[in-house]
Amino acid sequence: MNRAAALLVAASTLVLAAPRWAQDNKQSTGRARISIYEVAPGRDLDFLRWLAARAEVAKEAGVPAAELYAHTDGDRWDYLILWPITTPEQDRKMDELSAGKGLKIGFAAALEFREMLSSHTDTFVNGPTTAAALVAAAK
């Protein structure tokens, strides 16, 4: 399956999952970031541990949980994450908590994260919504 088709399948999955995600994450801003990751060979467990440590920090900071999808078939991506859009205040709080736990923050954290990846994409989206709502908005 080519990359465009895989992204279409992933986006369709998210459209179906998004209403539940927004309901579970009541701080929803109507925007999210979708990230698609291809992890470097042999780095999956490091990648997942890195994400888990930051998920705990986000939870402590009161930030809605991200949704993680693991690849099972199709294109070559490994993980897709639907992230909430955070505020500068939430980012500061997460940085404080991360630093207190000995986790890297800022550019050092970004470099550490990228060492585990072969590639990634980030896309900002509006939603959750429905096809009917978008059709109505197009009129």
Q: What is the pTM of this model?
A: 0.76
pLDDT in tens, 2-29: 444 444 344 444 444 444 444 454 445 6
pLDDT in tens, 29-40: 689 999 999 999
Half-sphere exposure of 9 (CA within 13 A, CB side): 14
Q: Are the CB atoms for 127 and 18 separated by under 8 Å?
A: yes
Q: How far apart are CA 23 and CA 65, in angstroms?
A: 12
pLDDT in tens, 38-90: 999 999 999 999 999 999 999 999 999 999 999 999 889 999 999 999 999 99
Q: What is the CATH number of domain 3-128?
A: 3.30.70.100
What is the pLDDT, as a whole number, of residue 29?
Answer: 65
Supply the DSSP symbol for 84.
Answer: E
Q: Are the CB atoms for 81 and 66 separated by under 8 Å?
A: yes
The amino acid present at 31, given as its one-letter code, is: R
